[in-house]
């Protein structure tokens, strides 16, 4: 492991559901040393192929509420009737030990994280078009038409939020988009001076 003298950076990546951020994050974590993905906890049931402790920590609503009460989550949100939250201990420990963390979360969570860590680096992944997004969501198994419709509606709204993010990556070609995400991370690591919150967008 490399010896980092700085605190670990925090990256937040958001995309409309089906925007492809999971694959991009997985690639970045595989390619870059000292980068970890934050594993959220959720009350949503696993989709086929999803593994507990890898994709999410799948927990009950009671367990989730217990974590909220004990301050174990940095931020949390309710989307599509399910709770999602970012566990505090791994992020804090990564920051202390100079490991960079990437959080794949939606916009309300991104806003909260920005309040807590003004130096957070925010990235929005755009799908090539809403038609492509719809096709990707339809390929996904395990969700019924009504849920799909709500995801698409939310995706349309989310596309309007791009201006709150500092970087945007168009996910038309996965290889190219993965390269761009890694380039952003590497560039931020090369920064001489930490960004001050006054440099950030006005939102
Ligand atoms: P999905 O059910 O498709 O895995 O996730 C639904 C939405 O919740 C996605 O936009 C995803 O990025 C977001 N999400 C996942 N984990 C978290 C989290 O810990 N906090 C927040 N705020 N959003 C999350």
DSSP 8-state class, residue 50: -
Distance 108 CA to ligand 1 centre (A): 10
Give tens-digit pLDDT for 62-119. 999 999 999 999 999 998 899 999 999 999 999 999 999 999 999 999 999 999 999 9
The closest residue, in CA terms, to atom 10 on ligand 1 is 106
Distance of CA 41 to the CA centre of its chain: 13
Pairing state between β 10-14 and 121-126? parallel
**Residue of 13, 26, 40 best suited for mutating to test ligand 1, as the one with most atoms within 8 Å of CB:** 40
Nearest one of 141, 125, 134, 135 to 174, comparing CA atoms: 125
- Mutation probe of ligand 1 site: the residue of 14, 101, 109, 115 with most atoms within 8 A of C-beta: 109
Pocket lined around ligand 1, Cβ cut-off 6 Å: 17, 40, 44, 75, 77, 79, 84-86, 104-106, 108-109
Q: Shortest CA distance to 87 belongs to which of 119, 109, 107, 108?
A: 109
Residue 112's pLDDT is: 96
Tell how strand 73-79 and strand 167-170 pair up.
unpaired
**How many residues can be counted in the chain?**
203
Distance from Cα 44 to the centre of ligand 1, integer Å: 10
Q: How confident is the model at residue 196 (pLDDT cuts 50, 70, 90)?
A: low
Q: What is the pLDDT of residues 47-65, one digit of tens each?
A: 999 999 999 999 999 999 9
> For residues 36 and 29, is the Cβ–Cβ distance under 8 A?
yes
- The reported pLDDT for the residue numbered 142 is 62
Residue 142: CB atoms within 10 A of its CB come to 11
pLDDT of 171 above 70: yes
Query: Which two three-digit tokens encode residue 187?
Result: 């560039």
Q: How far apart are CA 55 and CA 139, in angstroms?
A: 19
Tell me what pLDDT residue 203 has: 41
pTM for the predicted model, two decimal places: 0.88
* Residues with Cβ within 8 Å of residue 198, at least 6 apart in sequence: none
Distance CA 160, CA 146 (A): 22
pLDDT at 28 over 70: yes
pLDDT of residue 202: 42
| Winning range, highest mean pLDDT, from 55-64, 127-136, 142-151, 190-199 | 55-64
| Contact (Cβ atoms closer than 8 angstroms) between residue 67 and residue 41 | yes
Number of DSSP helices (H) and strands (E) in the chain, helices first: 7, 9
Residues paired with residue 112 on neighbouring β-strands, in sequence order: none
């Amino acid at each position: 492991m490399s010896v980092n003298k700085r605190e670990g950076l925090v990256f937040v990546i958001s995309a409309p559901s089906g925007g492809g951020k999971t694959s991009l994050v997985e690639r970045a974590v595989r390619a870059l040393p000292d980068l970890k993905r934050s594993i959220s906890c959720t009350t949503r049931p696993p989709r086929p192929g999803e593994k507990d402790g890898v994709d999410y920590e799948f927990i009950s609503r009671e367990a989730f509420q217990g974590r909220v009460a004990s301050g174990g989550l940095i931020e949390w949100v309710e989307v599509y009737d399910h709770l999602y939250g970012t566990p505090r201990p791994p992020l804090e420990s990564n920051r202390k030990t100079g490991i960079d963390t990437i959080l794949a979360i939606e916009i309300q969570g991104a806003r909260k994280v920005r309040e807590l860590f003004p130096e957070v680096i925010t990235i929005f992944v755009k799908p090539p078009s809403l038609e492509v997004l719809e096709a990707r969501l339809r390929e996904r198994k395990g969700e019924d038409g009504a849920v799909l419709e709500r995801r698409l509606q939310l995706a349309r709204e989310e596309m309007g939020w791009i201006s709150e993010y500092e970087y945007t990556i168009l996910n038309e070609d996965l290889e190219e988009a993965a390269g761009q995400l890694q380039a952003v991370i590497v560039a931020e690591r090369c920064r001489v001076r930490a960004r001050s919150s006054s440099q950030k967008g006005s939102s």
